[in-house]
Amino acid sequence: MKTKKIAMLGGGFIGDFYTHTLHGQRRQDRVQVIYSRSEDSAKKIAERWNIPKWTTNMEEAINDPDIDTVVIALPNHLHLEAVKRSAEAGKAVLVTKPLGRNAQESKEMLELVEKHNVFHGYLEDLCYTPKTLKSLESIKNGALGDILWVRSRETHPGPHSDWFWNPEFSGGGAIIDLGCHCIEIARNFIGKEVKPLEVMCWADTQVKPIQAEDHAIALVKYASGAIGQFEVSWCFRGGMDLRDEVMGVEGTMFLNHFLRTGLEVFTAVGEGDYVAEKAESATGWLFPVGDEVNALGYDFMFTDMFDAIDEGRSPMEDFYDGYIVNAIIDACYKSSKSKKWEPVELDIWRGSDEIRKGPKMVEFDEKYYLIKEEILPNGSKKLILKDKANGEIIQREI
């Protein structure tokens, strides 16, 4: 296991979370240099996490001879520039979500890291939560059969910094900020080799006085026939709601990652300011999260990234995934305006081109297919069958 020496670009909300993950437990990987826009915030985070060097010069952090890995935790409009400089410097590069503000930017980033042959990871933490990893393993082992529908929801009262609210810097509103998580969660459950075909999306600005959408719902149609559905909002009250549902031919899963997941506290007086990400109050009924960085997937994510570097393989999430997510988001924005299904335009596609034709028929006997069987309240069993020759649907009670 080789110790990673990291330049952390960005000392804001997520830079702090990432550094907490890396330095909070007994890991050997260290942030050696922190870059932040202001001297004050760079110094503060360096002191908080015992980081030897800080700078307000991005180039200096990337080119520091002591570092081998760059983690980009900057606002979305700076990802491309930071990736370009890191790839040219020959450093391994890990970027937070969303990879780009659109597919064009993501594609450029993917081409840059491939041209310079540097390791690239897409820091999509919500695909690495303990519950998601456990569920993905069960699905891989066939517990749910073929996946038909994934519903993924991320809603909260809105982001914590000015730049998120300006589409010029962020690339959009709740769809780009939260939908990117939901889309990639659904891709993991449906199968990343399955092509996303088209999108139908509703988006609106319901509450906040902004140009971008603060609420959206979308359906993403996949070549296997599966549907990915996402629900995202910056208007939701009561904290951060992160839930997924997966429906397969043979089973169902419900995942609740964050709100009301086991620790429920009532306090009339409070005991500190921070309860959990996006919590709206510090008194009354509270739902703190026991180990927030782990519940949100940051631990397993960095472990996979660094193991992948050591083993010379790709991580579970890389820039190609970030690019596909951006392409789906671009189609969402198109559909929300046209109010029609819009195709997902993929200049780069490395998965399967197979398209599902219809449902798999379940053989009952020589004459019939089985549609369904059910035990009735009177204890008898009812069979619904389809005649193979003429298509007639009949029922039989036994």
Ligand X SMILES: NC(=O)c1ccc[n+]([C@@H]2O[C@H](COP(=O)([O-])OP(=O)(O)OC[C@H]3O[C@@H](n4cnc5c(N)ncnc54)[C@H](O)[C@@H]3O)[C@@H](O)[C@H]2O)c1
**Candidate segments 4-12, 81-89, 203-211, 242-250, binder of ligand X by CB under 6 A:** 4-12
Q: Which amino acid is at 262?
A: G
Q: Which of 29, 125, 154, 241 binds ligand X (CB under 6 A)?
A: 125
Q: How far is the CB of 299 from ligand X (least distance, A)?
A: 13
Q: Which amino acid is at 252?
A: T
Site map for ligand X, 310-349, x if CB under 6 A? ----------------------------------------
160, HSE (Cβ side, Cα atoms, 13 Å): 9
Residue facing ligand X at closest CB distance: 12
Q: Which of 37, 131, 192, 208 binds ligand X (CB under 6 A)?
A: 37
Closest to ligand X by CB, 78 vs 197, is 78
The reply to whether 244 sits near ligand X by the rule CB under 6 A is no
Q: How far is the CB of 135 from ligand X (least distance, A)?
A: 19
Q: Give me the residues paired with residue 384 across strands.
A: 372, 395
> 3-state SS string over the chain?
CCCCEEEEECCCHHHHHHHHHHHHCCCCCEEEEEECCCHHHHHHHHHHCCCCEEECCHHHHHHCCCCCEEEECCCHHHHHHHHHHHHHCCCEEEEECCCCCCHHHHHHHHHHHHHCCCCEEEECHHHCCHHHHHHHHHHHCCCCCCEEEEEEEEECCCCCCHHHHCHHHHCCCHHHHHHHHHHHHHHHHHCCCCCEEEEEEEEECCCCCCCCCCEEEEEEEECCCCEEEEEEECCCCCCCEEEEEEEECCEEEEEECCCCCCCCEEECCCCCCCCCCCCCCCCEEECCCCCHHHHCCHHHHHHHHHHHHHHCCCCCCCHHHHHHHHHHHHHHHHHHHHCCCEECCCCCCCCCCCCCCCCCCCECCCCEEEEEEEECCCCCEEEEEEECCCCCEEEEEC
- DSSP symbols for 87-127: HHTT-EEEEESSS-SSHHHHHHHHHHHHHTT--EEEE-GGG
Closest to ligand X by CB, 97 vs 215, is 97
Residues that bind ligand X (rule: CB under 6 A) add up to a total of 20
Q: How far is the CB of 276 from ligand X (least distance, A)?
A: 13
Q: How far is the CB of 187 from ligand X (least distance, A)?
A: 16
Q: How far is the CB of 294 from ligand X (least distance, A)?
A: 13
Closest to ligand X by CB, 44 vs 388, is 44
The reply to whether 14 sits near ligand X by the rule CB under 6 A is yes
Q: How far is the CB of 284 from ligand X (least distance, A)?
A: 26
The reply to whether 12 sits near ligand X by the rule CB under 6 A is yes
Closest to ligand X by CB, 109 vs 200, is 109
Site map for ligand X, 154-193, x if CB under 6 A? -------x-x------------------------------
Q: How many of the other CB atoms lie within 10 Å of CB of 41?
A: 18
Contact positions with ligand X (CB under 6 A) in 287-306: none
Contact positions with ligand X (CB under 6 A) in 48-107: 73-76, 78, 96-97
C-alpha–C-alpha distance, residues 239 and 312, integer Å: 40
**Candidate segments 32-40, 139-147, 213-221, 390-398, binder of ligand X by CB under 6 A:** 32-40
Closest to ligand X by CB, 75 vs 225, is 75
**Candidate segments 8-16, 186-194, 214-222, 377-385, binder of ligand X by CB under 6 A:** 8-16
Closest to ligand X by CB, 97 vs 120, is 97
- DSSP symbols for 53-75: EEES-HHHHHH-TT-SEEEE-S-
Q: Which of 15, 121, 191, 239 binds ligand X (CB under 6 A)?
A: 15
The reply to whether 364 sits near ligand X by the rule CB under 6 A is no
Q: How far is the CB of 267 from ligand X (least distance, A)?
A: 27
The reply to whether 36 sits near ligand X by the rule CB under 6 A is yes
**Candidate segments 11-19, 111-119, 268-276, 346-354, binder of ligand X by CB under 6 A:** 11-19
* Residues found near ligand X in the complex (CB under 6 A): 10-15, 36-38, 41, 73-76, 78, 96-97, 125, 161, 163
